[in-house]
Structure 1
Amino acid sequence: MRKLMMAMGASMLAAAPVVSADILGVGATFGYWDADYSGSASKGNDRVDLEQDLNLSSDSNANLTAYFEHPVPVLPNVRLAYTRTKQSGNGQLDSGYDLLVPGSVRSELELEQLDLTLYYELLDNWVNLDLGLTVRDFSGDLVIIDTLGRSNQTKADAVLPLLYLAARFDLPLTGVSVGGDANAVSFDGDSVYDFNVYGQYELSLLQLRAGYRQISLDYDDGDDNLDIELSGPFVSAGLRF
């Protein structure tokens, strides 16, 4: 994974930087993501379906971003992003799952990730294009509790390098724009794909955004595996200075 991160960083530097910001720019956003889970989790040879077996429903979702852009052509811009989703449910297991008793179960699945993205602006006019590298500190935790109070935990923790690409198209003199961004990596059987598309309205310092986001994750951590997809609409509000 370290060699992959170094190769991705070298590729990013080879492409940079064509354009730099004219002035300093600082911004932050807060958003709500109505994400639904699908997929499965496994521990050893035992597997559970998140929808059919656990009947998970959304409890809370938080999305925060902050970024800093500058006119220095050699140095990359910086973006921080935090995502946390939490879902719980009451389901039914037809067979044992790593020594749990078949029958009614309670479960809770939490996904948390913190991104540090270094990126360059390749275009900066009515068409905006950014390219960079994201380092993602990721953790996933699934806890299942049976009727006897015994619990089983499936965990995944990793620091992953991902390629970052963002594009936005501004409609001149309207404050309206459409765009999307993506983070992605696939290496040694593990993969992460995270993308969103959105429409945005900007009024003075205020940015209002609505769109759709999807994360697909397939990651092994020893005997623990999370093969899940989160998807759904989101809304956010931010300030840009």
Structure 2
Amino acid sequence: MKKTVLTLGLIVSGTSFTAQADTLLGLYAGAQGWNMQTSGGFSSDGTNADFNFEDQTNSNIYVAFEHPVPLIPNIKIQRTIMDTSGETTLNSQYTFGDEIYANNTDVSTDVQLTTTDFILYYELFDNDLISFDVGINAKQIDGEFLVTEKENPSTSSRESFSGPVPMVYSRLAIGIPFSGFGAYVEGSFLNIDDHTLSDYQAALTYSLMENLALDMTFQLGYRTVKLELDDLDDIYSNLEFKGVYAGLEVHF
């Protein structure tokens, strides 16, 4: 009898430890397709021109690792591509790089832009009903802008830039019990010196799979990124990227 009780106790203890480890330790990975609209402009002297950009579908991928060790933050790394292009007629004289473009000049623009977020955060609440995270985000911005005069393609200027920007980060997620549905809002923000940056997203989620080995969640949301840069590696901008995204997240 005592051996039976001891055996049952060991089984229960092992099951309890497995469930606790799955709750406290987690590796998350996600990928999203973002139907992105772009507005605003950029320059190399602060007199930004407003360009007409085409809608683009770009990608966002991320991984996050959560653990139970006190005082050591969790980590999330996220990489977003925000490439786009377009054409416009300048409504004033415009300077970019070493070129000066006259008023009423038709130009084409090409934007190659990638942001990489290195996020350190703490979980203040974490359960099936609500979770709330706060932390800091070092957003690395890497870009290349190209402006070309359409009637005279030899008149062209290309500028590359790169630099990190520190931001405040937070995330709130809620779950609807016994339904598989949930929602979250997530964002990073900075307003310092003459830089104003924000990166916000909100989504509805639905659990496609949930077991001890793997959880899979579908996401449908909306994201807005604003980059108002003032002399970041000699680049000025007032760009806004926004649109609907859909994605999948897996939790190991």
Deviation at 1:88, TM superposition (A): 1.0
Report if the CA contact (8 A) 1:21-1:121 is conserved: no
Alignment partner for residue 177 of structure 2, among 172, 178, 185?
A: 172
| Pair member with larger Rg | 2
Relative to its length, the structure with more strand (as a share) is 1
Q: 1:220 aligns with which of 208, 230, 243?
A: 230
- Distance in 1, Cα, partners of 2:109 & 2:158: 10
What is the DSSP-based 3-state SS (H/G/I as helix, E as strand, rest coil) of the residue aligned with 1:57? coil
Paired-residue identity, %:
26
Residue 80 of structure 2 corresponds to which residue in structure 1? 83
User: When the two structures are superposed, what TM-score results if normalisation uses the length of structure 1?
Assistant: 0.83
Q: Distance in 2 between matches of 1:223 and 1:80?
A: 26
TM-score (norm 2): 0.80
**Alpha-carbon deviation of 1:73?**
2.1
Residues 198 and 226 in structure 2, CA contact (< 8 A), matched pair in contact too: yes
In structure 2, what is the equivalent of residue 72 of structure 1? 69
**Which whole-Å CA distance do the structure 2 matches of 1:72 and 1:36 have between them?**
41
The separation in 2 between residues aligned to 1:91 and 1:191, in whole angstroms, is 25
Aligned partner letter, 2:147? I
Amino acid at match of 2:117: D
Q: 1:127 to 1:220 in 2, by over 3 A?
A: same
Show structure 1 runs of 5+ residues with no match: 1-19
Shift of 1:220: 1.6
Of residues 148-157 and 130-139 in structure 1, the stretch that sits farther from structure 2 once superposed is 148-157
Deviation at residue 112 of structure 1 after TM alignment: 0.8
Task: Pick from 139, 142, 146 the counterpart of residue 136 of structure 1.
Answer: 139
Q: 1:131 to 1:90 in 2, by over 3 A?
A: same
2:109 counterpart (101, 107, 110): 107
Which range is displaced more, 156-165 or 96-105? Answer: 96-105
Q: How many residues align?
A: 218
Change (3 A) 1:168 1:151: same
Aligned to 2:217: 207
Shift of 1:82: 0.3
CA offset digits 1:130-163 (Å, max 9, x no partner): 0111111112332110122211235542201111
In structure 2, relative to structure 1, the CA distance for the partners of 1:234 and 1:60 (3 Å cut) is closer
* Structure 1 counterpart SS, 2:54: strand
Query: Are 1:148 and 2:152 matched, yes or no?
Result: yes
When the two chains are superposed, the root-mean-square deviation of aligned CA atoms in Å is 2.0
- The counterpart of 1:188, out of the listed 193, 199, 207, is 193
